[in-house]
Amino acid sequence: MRPLKDVRIFFALWPDDEVRHRIAENLRLFNLDSNKSRLVTNANLHMTLHFVGNASFAEMNCLNLQARLTEAKPFSLTLDCSGYFKKPQVLWFGCHTMPEALYDLQRQLGEHLKVCAYTPESRPYSPHVTVARKIFETPETVPIKPISWQVDRFVLVKSISISGGVRYEVVESYALGC
């Protein structure tokens, strides 16, 4: 019998309620057909640092312990642009200028996670917040109102399958600057 892979997990930046609200306000600027596209629920909005995928509880424990070793300082970023990834058919919000501190956090975390046999993606890190899925046509370019986001922590999240999609649940939170 093969070991069970118990949870689907990822590490991410997790916006506070104010940032989530401002993202939702900006999303209304786009005329998306809700019958064709799927808006990401406010509770699921995040910026992925590392997607792990399926992991056993033992693997998740190792990743959790290694993530605690990450030493990064709090930083701020501004979501001020939108874009479209054609292949996964998603609309996203991102930053014209991404803070170097975000890249440092993502790199450092990835190095720590390697101890647990995690292999970071080989493609360059492309930080963004997915706001809508199943967008079959490239949406109109709409300027968004800048959203200031003070980042003082990152989280370990598990994905739970529910009727009609997924729900994300924070498993652990890691403060920056401690």
For 30-50, the pLDDT digits (tens) are 877 665 778 899 999 999 999
68 φ, ψ to 5°? -65, -20
Say what the pLDDT of residue 178 is. 66
Q: Grade residue 3 by pLDDT with cuts at 50, 70 and 90.
A: low
Say what the pLDDT of residue 41 is. 92
Is residue 171 within 8 Å of residue 46, measured between CB atoms?
Answer: no
Q: Would you say residue 121 has pLDDT above 80? A: yes
To which H or E segment does residue 76 belong? strand 75-79
Q: Would you say residue 64 has pLDDT above 60? A: yes
| CATH 3.20.20.70 is the classification of domain 7-175 | no
Q: Grade residue 1 by pLDDT with cuts at 50, 70 and 90.
A: very low
Is residue 14 within 8 Å of residue 46, measured between CB atoms?
Answer: yes
57-61, 100-104, 133-137, 165-169: the lowest-pLDDT one = 133-137
Q: Stretch 54-77: mean pLDDT, rounded?
A: 96
Q: Domain spans of the chain?
A: 7-175
